[in-house]
Amino acid sequence: MPAPQEFLSFVDTNANAFIKRLAEAVAIPSISGDATHRADVVKMGEWLNTHLKAVGVSTQLVDLGKHTMDGEELNLPPAILGRIGDDKSKKTVLIYGHFDVQPANKSDGWNTDPFTLTIDESTGQLIGRGSSDDKGPVLGWLNVLQYHHQQRKALPVNLRFCFEGMEESGSEGLDDLVERESKPGGWFDGVDCVCISDNYWLNTRTPVLTYGLRGLTYLKVTVHGPGRDLHSGVFGRTVYEPMTDLIAIMSKLVDSQGNILIPGVDEMVCAADEEEREIYESLDYSYKDIESAAGGPVALTTDKVDLLMGRMRYPSLSLHGIEGAFSGVGAKTVIPAKVSGKFSIRLVPPQTPEIVDPLVISYIESEFAKLNTKNTLTIENLHGGKPWVADHTHWNFEAAKRATKAVYGQDPDLTREGGSIPVTLTFAESLKVNVLLLPMGRGDDGAHSTNEKLDRSNFIEGTKLLGTYLYELADIQGKK
Amino acid sequence: MPAPQEFLSFVDTNANAFIKRLAEAVAIPSISGDATHRADVVKMGEWLNTHLKAVGVSTQLVDLGKHTMDGEELNLPPAILGRIGDDKSKKTVLIYGHFDVQPANKSDGWNTDPFTLTIDESTGQLIGRGSSDDKGPVLGWLNVLQYHHQQRKALPVNLRFCFEGMEESGSEGLDDLVERESKPGGWFDGVDCVCISDNYWLNTRTPVLTYGLRGLTYLKVTVHGPGRDLHSGVFGRTVYEPMTDLIAIMSKLVDSQGNILIPGVDEMVCAADEEEREIYESLDYSYKDIESAAGGPVALTTDKVDLLMGRMRYPSLSLHGIEGAFSGVGAKTVIPAKVSGKFSIRLVPPQTPEIVDPLVISYIESEFAKLNTKNTLTIENLHGGKPWVADHTHWNFEAAKRATKAVYGQDPDLTREGGSIPVTLTFAESLKVNVLLLPMGRGDDGAHSTNEKLDRSNFIEGTKLLGTYLYELADIQGKK
Ligand SMILES: [Zn+2]
Ligand SMILES: [Zn+2]
Ligand SMILES: [Zn+2]
Ligand SMILES: [Zn+2]
């Protein structure tokens, strides 16, 4: 069952109204990471709640309690649960999105006011914070719902919604809510599959379905030495210097080519077979895409498959920096007393922080012992999350493939993402159903960067894609 | 010719008045590194000039021009040149000191207001910023002059003075002044030796004469990669990461035991012969002194001679930190686009920045080439200075030894300092005469730290030492 032509026309006809509504949403600076904007996050939740109710969704605001940020105790913005449709003969789809955004200041390098949606008529770009991450996709669902409500058309599936206002700040309180509502009798009881639109195409040309995300383990290695910072003139070559030991340790974690030197970590991941390599081979991508995104000729390889597998299906180890050392401009002759190296490993199945951390810790401890220093070592895990990979042959993905073909006239690329969206795994594990990542925006949207944008065509065709996906879901052979 | 008993009694009798004068000087927050205190540095110079004139010194304030600090153009505080005595039959001694101080805030951890000289009656400590570095020693000379002026006694030597207000901020403008005034007809023409009281005893017990200072070369190694900071989820294992390359380079400079790994640098310094080892063997010192000063059990060795030579007569390499990497608290998953490692090497004869830098640069470049990375490398020298070693058997040192024995009843330890006082070398090279460092304070004075102090006995006996040194100079066989 393809989407009704009437729906597609409705979207085209109402495109300008949809963009106007997106402008309204972007104008609310719902920055979850900034305490002074907490009221705006709440306001944005209320705005969304009002619009959901206006198109026939029954909602419930869920108080997620309090948390501490920058030493201040704050109320968490409520999450919004929504439901529409209870037809036992239809599939039930859970939609997730978030209504908070990353910080943005004109002075960061924005060409326009970040909280005024600016339409660049020449490029078709809708520029503003949250346009692509994640207000555009959330409003895409509103657009789909508006058609059915306004035209009094029944939706082809039952829908459940879960919208949060803390995604950009660790999704505090959400895991508990999802686990609670996934139980029998909970809000998500009876959900057959999940769809999340909160990532991006690999490039600017080809639609994407995403079936994997890397996990993460973030570690802090601290070397403790003298009781206070020392002057290198007075103490140089008389004491064990913590920086020397820390740099020695950090140099043993990863090589310039990206190989992880911790025994057992890279080895834990099986090589890709021919079938899997073909997925990467088929993707519309080139090393020039990564170099253009990175802003420099620094790709590890020109081999497309190796590059894509480096991002999507192999672990990576990045050294982020050092806390406690001299980090300012100029020349300070300090011997820092206590320094902490920060690094993280992106994880892929079967790796988890629980499996990988002990390997890392015992390796670092044994390398540190070889240094024969009188300084001491501590290692902490700052945070982490498991990787996620879904079955991309599932009917949930099949429906999205058909919808993509119908709307864009081309097959979607099947991708895995290098980063993590932790709630994906929570849905997969709590509901034990297939989770699909169905991105609306392009790879160059600049989600967490300056001049974030969503292309007009991605918003409008993306709205058609979301609606069409629901019709294809209803149609496809599968559970229900 | 020992100092007259009358002088020693005068110092004891006037001790409280001398301390009161020191309190006046400490009360002027002459912080040269803080633009908002520049007027206080000038005020301190005027205070000193007034006091010098009051005890019979002819002075001249020298405008050193302007400089830029923190992006602001500022007038440099004037230097003070002084002279008293022109007796051709007497030796002429040049005295150097500085009237500016390091920054200090109560909130840094001071137990008392740093700019109120606080007398701890139980310990005899005079606590306040500048008490030991360098207002105490400068006022020691004032005390000596006051006796001769007030009692109408001729000084045993001719004196020339050079006092500056920028020592804590790179002595801007001073080198030019010293070179200019060292020429025939200049203010320092005819000077036979130099005495600088601006360092410290090795411990808290034994007076010291210092005959060597290490030099310095401070380098910044920058690795340039992507055009902007990247997210490790998206880019991890797809690009050459500048941090990985920089850490690899930094790990190849020095080992945990303090050995410099750059070929040719350690090797450039000859081993100590038995005679030199005996100097270190004779010093009143133990590895416990360094551990107590460092605030932790981190001495490289318990061997006193090796430890002292590590500080005084071998080069050292310290890694200070990284600019451009993540240095805050918490966990940021950034791949920094451009990172600069900062390190410095303390130099000893025959090393100079001109000789050592090319070795360092070519070694780093060859190690970087081995990394086989597409990132690029630049190396800058941020600043540097040559080491200095004086002949400690010179009559200038002999006079100071006799004075020490007379005042303290014990022979001074002969030391070299690990750090640098760049003007020392300028005096030695411009005047081509012997330079003596004759410290007043103790090793635990905390010159650049919180709760800086000068012990009352060091101020009072130190004043006697400075005066006695002049009489021993007059007496001793030597030039003039
Ligand atoms: Zn998002
Ligand atoms: Zn985001
Ligand atoms: Zn000083
Ligand atoms: Zn100083």
Element (H, E) at B145: helix B135-150
**DSSP 3-state of A323:** strand
Assign residue B185 a region (left: φ > 0; alpha: ψ between -120 and 50; beta: otherwise). Answer: left
Q: Which residues of B are catalytic, by number? A: 100, 167
What confidence category does residue B108 fall into, taking pLDDT thresholds of 50, 70 and 90?
confident
B204 is written with which tokens? 């808290």
- The average pLDDT across A374-403 equals 96
Q: Are B258 and A274 in contact (CB under 8 A)?
A: no
Closest CA to B288 of B297, B279, B280: B297
Q: Are B139 and B22 in contact (CB under 8 A)?
A: yes
What confidence category does residue B480 fall into, taking pLDDT thresholds of 50, 70 and 90?
low
What confidence category does residue A157 fall into, taking pLDDT thresholds of 50, 70 and 90?
very high
- The average pLDDT across A259-284 equals 95
Chain A nearest-CA residue for B69 = A330
What confidence category does residue B76 fall into, taking pLDDT thresholds of 50, 70 and 90?
very high
Asked if B318 lies within 8 A of A290 by C-beta distance, the reply is no
Predicted local distance difference test score (pLDDT) of residue B426: 95
Contacts of A231 in chain B (CB under 8 A): 419, 448
The per-residue pLDDT for range A312-361, each reduced to its tens digit, is 999 999 999 999 999 988 888 899 999 999 999 999 999 999 999 999 99
The per-residue pLDDT for range A158-179, each reduced to its tens digit, is 999 999 999 998 899 999 999 9
Residues contributing to the annotated binding site of B for Mn(2+):
98, 133, 168, 198, 448
Asked if B372 lies within 8 A of A226 by C-beta distance, the reply is no
Average pLDDT of chain B is 95
Asked if A346 lies within 8 A of B232 by C-beta distance, the reply is yes
Q: Are A412 and A401 in contact (CB under 8 A)?
A: yes
Q: What b/e readout covers A49-80, taking b as 16+ CB neighbours within 10 angstroms?
A: bebbeebbbebeebebeeeebeeeeeebbbbb
B373 vs A443, which has greater pLDDT?
A: B373
Statement: residue B479 has pLDDT above 80: no
Q: Are B318 and A245 in contact (CB under 8 A)?
A: no
How close does chain B come to A79, measured CA to CA in Å? 25
Give the span between the Cα atoms of B334 and A92, in whole angstroms.
38
- The average pLDDT across B131-137 equals 97
Q: Which amino acid is at B195?
A: C
What is the DSSP track for B32-101?
TT-GGGHHHHHHHHHHHHHHHHHTT-EEEEE---EEEETTEEEEPPPEEEEEE---TTS-EEEEEEE--B
How close does chain B come to A125, measured CA to CA in Å? 22
Least confident of A139-143, A292-296, B40-44, B197-201: A292-296
- The average pLDDT across A91-113 equals 94
Asked if A318 lies within 8 A of B248 by C-beta distance, the reply is no
Contacts of A316 in chain B (CB under 8 A): 232, 236-237
Statement: residue A107 has pLDDT above 90: no
Least confident of A233-242, B185-194, B239-248, B443-452: B443-452
Predicted local distance difference test score (pLDDT) of residue B406: 97
**ipTM of predicted assembly, 2 dp:** 0.89
How close does chain A come to B234, measured CA to CA in Å? 5
Question: What is the whole-number distance in angstroms between the Cα of residue B396 and the centre of ligand 4?
Answer: 24
Predicted local distance difference test score (pLDDT) of residue B228: 86
Q: Which long-range contacts (CB under 8 A, 24 or more apart) does A107-115 make?
A: A108/A450, A109/A450, A109/A451, A110/A450, A110/A451, A111/A451, A112/A451, A114/A29, A114/A452, A115/A26, A115/A27, A115/A28, A115/A29
Predicted local distance difference test score (pLDDT) of residue A2: 84
How close does chain A come to B262, measured CA to CA in Å? 14
Q: Are A254 and B244 in contact (CB under 8 A)?
A: yes
Between CA A44 and CA A51, with CA A50 as vertex, the angle to 5 degrees is 90
- Best B202, B203, B239, B304 residue to mutate vs chain A (most A CBs within 10 Å): B239
Predicted local distance difference test score (pLDDT) of residue A447: 87
Return the DSSP state at A449: S
Give the span between the Cα atoms of B292 and B298, in whole angstroms.
10
Strands (E) in B215-256, as ranges, are 215-224, 230-231
Average pLDDT of chain A is 95
Contacts of B247 in chain A (CB under 8 A): 247, 250-251, 319
Contacts of B382 in chain A (CB under 8 A): 330-331
Angstrom CA distances, A51 to A25, A139, A440, stand at: 11, 9, 20
Statement: residue A411 has pLDDT above 80: yes
The per-residue pLDDT for range B111-123, each reduced to its tens digit, is 999 999 999 999 9
Structural domains in chain A, sorted by start: 5-213+387-475 (3.40.630.10), 215-269+314-385 (3.30.70.360)
From the CA of B168, the nearest ligand is: 4
Q: What b/e readout covers B290-300, taking b as 16+ CB neighbours within 10 angstroms?
A: bbbbbebbbbb
What confidence category does residue A383 fall into, taking pLDDT thresholds of 50, 70 and 90?
confident
Statement: residue A400 has pLDDT above 90: yes
The per-residue pLDDT for range A2-39, each reduced to its tens digit, is 899 999 999 999 999 999 999 999 999 999 999 999 99
Statement: residue A419 has pLDDT above 90: no
Which residue among B322, B331, B418 sits closest to A233, beta carbon to beta carbon?
B418
Distance of CA B374 to the CA centre of its chain: 42
Least confident of A123-127, A167-171, A428-432, B68-72: B68-72
Angstrom CA distances, A308 to A300, A311, A350, stand at: 11, 5, 19
Predicted local distance difference test score (pLDDT) of residue B31: 96
Q: Where are the alpha helices (DSSP H) in B313-412?
A: 353-371, 395-408
Predicted local distance difference test score (pLDDT) of residue A480: 63
Predicted local distance difference test score (pLDDT) of residue B69: 85
Q: Which amino acid is at B82?
A: G
Asked if A294 lies within 8 A of B418 by C-beta distance, the reply is no
Statement: residue B453 has pLDDT above 90: yes
Question: Residue A443, Cβ neighbours under 10 Å: how many?
Answer: 23
Asked if B232 lies within 8 A of A331 by C-beta distance, the reply is no
Q: Are A259 and A266 in contact (CB under 8 A)?
A: yes
- The average pLDDT across B334-342 equals 96
Contacts of B300 in chain A (CB under 8 A): 237-240
Statement: residue B44 has pLDDT above 70: yes
Q: Which residues of A are catalytic, by number? A: 100, 167
Q: Which residues pair with B376 in a beta bridge?
A: B224
Between CA B463 and CA B12, with CA B144 as vertex, the angle to 5 degrees is 55
Asked if A238 lies within 8 A of B307 by C-beta distance, the reply is yes
- The average pLDDT across B3-23 equals 97
Question: What is the whole-number distance in angstroms between the Cα of residue B357 and the centre of ligand 3?
Answer: 27
Distance of CA B269 to the CA centre of its chain: 23
